[in-house]
Amino acid sequence: MRIISQSGACRAATTSISFDESLLLGTFMGATIVEKIFSSRCGHTVRAGEVVMAPVDGAMIHDITGPLAIRNFFEMGGTKVFDPEKIILLFDHQIPADSIDAAENHVFMRKFARDQGIHNYDIQEGICHQVVLEKGRAGPGEIIVGADSHTCMYGAAGAFATGIGSTDMGFVLKFGALYFRVPETIRAEASGPFQRRVGPKDLILSIAKDIGADGATYQAIEFTGETFSSMPMHGRMTCCNMAIEMGAKAGIVPPDEITYEYMRSRGKSSRVSIGSDPDAGYADRRTYEVSGLPPQVAVPHNVDLAMDVDKVAGTPVDQVFIGSCTNGRFEDLAEAAEVIGNRQFDKSTRVIVIPASRDEYLKSLQAGLIERFVRAGALVEAPCCGPCMGGAFGLLAPGEVSLSTSNRNFRGRQGSTDASVYLCSPATAAASALYGEITDPREV
Amino acid sequence: MIMRTWKFGDNIDTDAIIPGRYLVYNDPGVLSTHAFEGTRNDFAKEVSKGDVIIAGRNFGCGSSREHAPLALVGAGIRFIVAESFARIFYRNAVNVGLLPLVCHNARAIPDDAECRVDLEKREITCQGRSYAIEPVPDFLLLIVDAGGLIPYARKLEGVETCTGSQR
């Protein structure tokens, strides 16, 4: 077995992770990328359907699920975490603390971080999933867990990453490992270039419509084909982020030069090469041609209720939210800003813009995007989950309609159960904010 | 044990089970007072210890919030019978001692009916009609039998990774 050492500037990236390269590169036939990741981390061939106690290369907790995970860790008899360098701890859902209860949760987690020697990113870095990737805390071939369902986003970096609950996380904090049922994989292959002002969010909404809200339950989705192999990292993040909206355990884009360049820029010099064999056994193969894809909108109250924007164009919106771990990156904000130009938002619509992280905020500031949003009439908030959390701020009253670049439109997700949430791309959100109603961004 | 059914439809998400604004609380008793708030407001007021939840496909989809199964534990629920479960919720439920049971024709089970769950016979019987329940996967039964993941983990000195693979 050859040890591939990983080194870099950030804390966790200094930890060596041993990969069994022969298993990564596929000396056994017909394996999916996910089977190879589990095989290489376990040191022997593991197939879909098997249950393994696999080592965990990174574990993320935030202010909502962290307190329970920590309590469970102690209740399990835990005293010292398995490896403080492999734990990512931060606050993003209720920041700055929006209640005394939230503040107490933060205090509890800060003390845990201090006592255990875990680096605490606290409230200032941004949304957990963006921060994990930006800090180089997830990379190709690794197994990462997070106490948040959108942890599957790290598949954009070629990791097997999945969301778990707080009790499983308590177990991980103690033992550094977890039972996994190695999932079967659905291959989602996309080809063709996007039309102007159509992008990854529209694609993933259309894939969710095709696969369905539970069509990938217990499975992984491998995003492949020329559309994905040419897609920049921010778009891969958007797509992998929403794998959970089809019930998937993980979403993954096979790592390539785009991945390695991103990892390099984040201080993690990983070149772990891994991909599915041509004869891999997939649970299903889906193909998508994107060149004819119009902008998509998911209507209330399920993510798989996506449709072409013209079917709902003209629907009045009270609030537009541009942000979240799904679509709060610099490129997303730049796309929205390009659509609005120097115009003003409609007076009857509230517009909330939240960059996904401090880094994305700074890039947006330096590019003049924030000034453009503020001048257009938006409320720009500091990096956090914002209205997507449905508890901190930006809540909806009964009867109100929100158009959001986030990932879930469940009833009550952003406030009242009598409110409605529609999901769309940053371009569609920006175009709609200009007119106060759902609008095709290609027409503004 | 006789129990009463509370019936729900397909794709009941964790925001419906416990809205985001209550995630600041961790206590099952507190969470239970807000269970299904805005979705089925009579639930928190009228649920009794031992009642059973019946649902269609994809119960518990969405967030990984363990507050959702905890709210149901706090309400005295022991079993959820559904046509299918979302992955994270399923595992969270087992971990906190709530038993998710897959029943392929759960939607035929009536609301507000007296039922009996028989784990040995793997069936739920409501108003004289029995409905088959799928077996719980073996590796999860270890956790179920221990009473949840916390008591299971408390007994472990350590874990051996990647050994004892099982199907």
Which A-chain residues 384-413 have CB contacts (< 8 A) with chain B? 389-391, 395, 408, 410-413
> Does the structure show a pLDDT above 90 at A429?
yes
Which A-chain residues 49-78 have CB contacts (< 8 A) with chain B? 49-55, 64-65, 67-68, 71-72, 75-77
Interface residue A217 vs chain B (CB under 8 A): yes
**Positive or negative CA dihedral for A373, A233, A261, A227?**
negative
A319 C-beta neighbours (distance < 10 Å), count: 23
Which one, of A393, A436, A437, lies nearest residue A414 by Cα? A393
Q: Model confidence over A172-226: pLDDT tens digits?
A: 999 999 999 999 999 999 999 999 999 999 999 999 999 999 999 999 999 999 9
Q: Find chain A residues with C-beta within 8 A of B26's C-beta.
A: 67-68, 71
Q: Does the model's pTM come out above 0.90? A: yes
Rounded to a whole number of angstroms, the distance from the CA of A206 to the nearest CA of chain B is 18
- The whole-angstrom separation of Cα A56 and Cα A77 is 19
Rounded to a whole number of angstroms, the distance from the CA of B155 to the nearest CA of chain A is 8
Q: Which of B34, B87, B159 to mutate to test the interface with A (most CBs of A within 10 A)?
A: B87
A300: which residues sit within 8 A by CB, 6+ positions away?
A409, A411, A420, A421, A422
- The whole-angstrom separation of Cα A372 and Cα A364 is 10
Which A-chain residues 75-134 have CB contacts (< 8 A) with chain B? 75-77, 93-94, 99, 101-102, 105
The answer to whether A350 and A318 have CB atoms below 8 angstroms apart is yes
Q: State whether A175 and B63 contact (CB < 8 Å).
A: no
* pLDDT on residue A7: 32
Q: State whether A411 and B38 contact (CB < 8 Å).
A: yes
Q: Model confidence over A42-101: pLDDT tens digits?
A: 989 999 999 999 999 999 999 999 999 999 999 999 999 999 999 999 999 999 999 999
Rounded to a whole number of angstroms, the distance from the CA of B127 to the nearest CA of chain A is 30
* pLDDT on residue A20: 66
Q: State whether A214 and B84 contact (CB < 8 Å).
A: yes
Which one, of A280, A192, A289, A190, lies nearest residue A239 by Cα? A190
* pLDDT on residue A3: 32
> Does the structure show a pLDDT above 90 at A251?
yes
* CB-nearest partner of A247 from B22, B61, B165: B61
Q: State whether B153 and A416 contact (CB < 8 Å).
A: no
* CB-nearest partner of A175 from B61, B64, B158: B158
Q: Which of A148, A178, A410 to mutate to test the interface with B (most CBs of B within 10 A)?
A: A410
* pLDDT on residue A25: 55
> Does the structure show a pLDDT above 50 at B126?
yes
* pLDDT on residue A318: 98
Structure tokens, B119 = 């784990």
Map residue B36 onto helix, strand or coil: coil
Pairing of strands A306-308, B52-55: unpaired
Q: For all residues of chain A together, what is the average pLDDT?
A: 94
Q: State whether A65 and B64 contact (CB < 8 Å).
A: yes
Name the DSSP class of B13. B
Pairing of strands A177-181, A350-353: unpaired
A66: which residues sit within 8 A by CB, 6+ positions away?
A89, A105, A109, A112, A147, A166
CB contacts < 8 A (A, B): 168
Rounded to a whole number of angstroms, the distance from the CA of B136 to the nearest CA of chain A is 14
Interface residue A300 vs chain B (CB under 8 A): no
Q: Model confidence over B75-115: pLDDT tens digits?
A: 999 999 999 999 999 999 999 999 999 999 999 999 999 99
Q: Which of B18, B59, B63, B140 to mutate to test the interface with A (most CBs of A within 10 A)?
A: B63
Radius of gyration of chain B (CA): 16
Q: State whether B162 and A55 contact (CB < 8 Å).
A: yes
Q: Model confidence over A364-410: pLDDT tens digits?
A: 999 999 999 999 999 999 999 999 988 889 999 999 999 999 999 99
Q: State whether B62 and A149 contact (CB < 8 Å).
A: yes
CA angle B149, B153, B154 (to 5 degrees): 120
Q: Model confidence over A285-323: pLDDT tens digits?
A: 999 999 999 999 999 999 999 999 999 999 999 999 999
> Does the structure show a pLDDT above 50 at B164?
no
> Does the structure show a pLDDT above 60 at B35?
yes
Can you point out the beta strands (E) in chain B? Answer: 2-7, 52-55, 79-82, 99-102, 114-118, 123-126, 129-132
Q: State whether A148 and B63 contact (CB < 8 Å).
A: yes
With tokens 């897609």, the residue in question is A231
Q: State whether A168 and B163 contact (CB < 8 Å).
A: no
Map residue B105 onto helix, strand or coil: coil
> Does the structure show a pLDDT above 70 at B165?
no
> Does the structure show a pLDDT above 80 at B153?
yes
Nearest CA in chain A to B158: A175
